[in-house]
Homo-oligomer: A and B are copies of this chain.
């Protein structure tokens, strides 16, 4: 909502982005325009009041025969719009970049999560095995053979995880 209600013409500096708005949109390309080359530029040269308008239909409509587009307000509006356009495009681009970045972040997180899953799965499987073993021991026999291997040496401390 930060909309500077007052369109102060002149070098407008909205944010940190400097928008050098040259007076005429003669375009100010990054590289110095070759002075002797392509001295062409879009010369709007619009029609002041449409000379060949069909037979003056409803002649009462032009407040100012001399001001339709060739000056003043028109120019001002154009300039404002140009600024708006620039801003909008910048935003758009920024957004695209942000989205891309988000993809990267999400990808990373995904990997992390997957690793974690792997770990947990492993732990689970180990515990389960131990359990089964135990159950077997209990069920199979009741007498612990002296040197029974794989029996139940000692519950020991579980590996525990490292969450």
Residues on A facing B (Cβ under 8 Å): 36, 39-47, 50, 52-54, 69, 96, 99-100, 102-103, 106-107, 109-110, 113-114, 116-117, 120-121, 123-124, 127-128, 130-131, 134-135, 138, 142-144, 152, 155, 158-161, 163
* Nearest CB of chain B from residue A67's CB, rounded to whole Å: 14
Please give me the residue from chain B that is nearest to A52 by CB atom: B39
- Given A45-B43, A103-B102, A121-B120, decide whether A155 and B134 contact each other with a Cβ distance below 8 A: yes
Inter-chain contacts of A109 with B (CB < 8 A): 110
Contact across chains for A124 and B113 when beta carbons are under 8 A apart? no
Inter-chain contacts of A47 with B (CB < 8 A): 39-40
Distance A114 CA – B54 CA, assembled complex (angstroms): 68
Distance A127 CA – B129 CA, assembled complex (angstroms): 11
Contact across chains for A69 and B53 when beta carbons are under 8 A apart? no
Distance A160 CA – B141 CA, assembled complex (angstroms): 11
Inter-chain contacts of A159 with B (CB < 8 A): 142-144
A-B CB contact pairs (8 Å), 10 listed: A39-B47, A39-B53, A40-B46, A40-B47, A106-B110, A113-B114, A117-B120, A121-B163, A135-B155, A138-B163
Contact across chains for A46 and B43 when beta carbons are under 8 A apart? yes
